[in-house]
Amino acid sequence: MTGINLNKILKERGYKFTNQRQHVFDVVMENDGMHLNSQEIYELVREKHPEIGVATVYRTLALLEEMGLIYGVDFEDGFRRYEIVKNEEQHRHHHLLCIECGSIQEVEEDLLGSIEEKIYQNNRFKVINHRVKFYGYCENCQNK
């Protein structure tokens, strides 16, 4: 069910297919929902493919992001974290960050449609995408 043919996608865009690119993509795919940062991705790729260099990982992540296969999120913790872009997603989904335990949940989006309309009316600003993070207490941490 991985379904995504990276080879094909790369070729279509005029890029070459390499094993390194596949390895990086695999790690991000396999860790869906983990919000790995670049270093973590580098280390995971390295476990299986110790010859890969940091630079390649960074370059590949940038390439995959540019191609729209993954995207970077910034949780303001000093790391750039990456997620797979799901085909169904129009907009990006949102995140719930627990300020007690640091856990990150994802929450489906399309809650903001009416707000974007309001923004267009008030500010004449045409929203294309948004990034929303909610900070608070997850279920577990509320019961302490």
Cα distance between the two ends of the chain: 40
* SS3 at position 94: strand
Least distance in angstroms from the C-beta of 44 to a second copy: 23
- Binding positions for DNA, 44-63, rule CB under 7 A: 51-56, 58-60, 62
Taking the complex as a whole, the smallest distance from the CB of residue 40 to DNA amounts, in Å, to 9
Shortest spacing between CB 15 and a second copy, in angstroms: 24
18 within 8 A of 34, measured Cβ to Cβ = no
Q: Are 6 and 68 in contact (CB under 8 A)?
A: no
Q: How far is residue 37 from each of residues 11, 57, 118, measured CA to CA in Å? A: 27, 11, 34
Contact string (CB under 8 A) for a second copy, positions 68-107, x = contact: ----x-x-x-------------------x-xx-----x-x
For a second copy, the closer of residues 48 and 133 by Cβ is 133
